[in-house]
Amino acid sequence: MRNYLVIIPAYNEEYSICEVIEEVKAQLGQIDILVVNDGSTDKTSYLAQEAGATVLNLPVNIGYGGALQTGFRFAVKFGYDYVITVDADTQHDPASIKNMIETMDNAGADVVIGSRFLVDCNYKMGLLRRAGVFIFSKIAMAYTGVRFTDPTSGFQILNRKAFTYLSKRDNYPLDYPDVNIIMALHKMKFKIIEAPAKMRHKKTTKSMHSGLKPIIYVIRMFVAIMVVLLKKDK
């Protein structure tokens, strides 16, 4: 592998973190893996270290976006050229990463988003969640002129220019980095495309989008979109 860093944000994922690390290694060999332990209260940190990953332990839970941005800052500091973001709950299948890398190379993209819907258009998802994906897909296309089928996917590859921009304090949200980030990157002239990526249903029961959270997510995402539209370029 070239100078890649796999970033895995993790909050209380002791039942899946080792499996994710092992799958990444099986697909990519001796690649650097960083687990950003987002204030977990279980054995996530210990198990990730035992599995061979570098672990950054955040003292409190700051949110998915904050954990990712911490990983971006690590990648900037230690000179990585690319980062690959993978969830800690086994949802993202590392077998898709090589295809995503090839897509990035062929297209000359700054960011590649792994889309589950380019692999399985019948992927099961809650009604509110699917409605949100549909709405935000339309918003992303209207703003960028590019068709995005899975704008909420956190399965991504970013080059150094893109993750360096997102590592800056005001350029990344602490909670939900989704269509707002696509729009923000497009606004700054980054090239973002999708690639087919297999995703699996989570083995754990907790989710960022369970209960009333999808409604809260949609509201907050509309606010985040407005912030992108109103924010002056830097």
Structural domains present in the chain: 4-230 (3.90.550.10)
The one-letter code for the residue type at 94 is: P
What whole-number distance in Å separates Cα of residue 150 and Cα of residue 153? 6
* Helix or strand holding residue 127 (H, E): helix 127-144
Please give the structure tokens belonging to residue 166: 């997102």
Do residues 1 and 100 make contact, with C-beta atoms less than 8 angstroms apart?
no
- Give yes or no for a contact between 21 and 51, defined as CB atoms under 8 angstroms apart: yes
**Sheet containing 32-38: which strands, arranged edge to edge?**
54-58, 32-38, 4-10, 82-85, 156-159, 111-115, 192-196
Integer-rounded Cα Rg, in Å, for the chain is: 16
pLDDT in tens, the chain (234 residues): 569 999 999 999 999 999 999 999 999 999 999 999 999 999 999 999 999 999 999 999 999 999 999 999 999 999 999 999 999 999 999 999 999 999 999 999 999 999 999 997 777 777 777 777 888 899 999 999 999 999 989 999 999 999 999 999 888 877 777 888 999 999 999 999 999 999 997 765 455 545 556 677 677 777 777 777 777 665
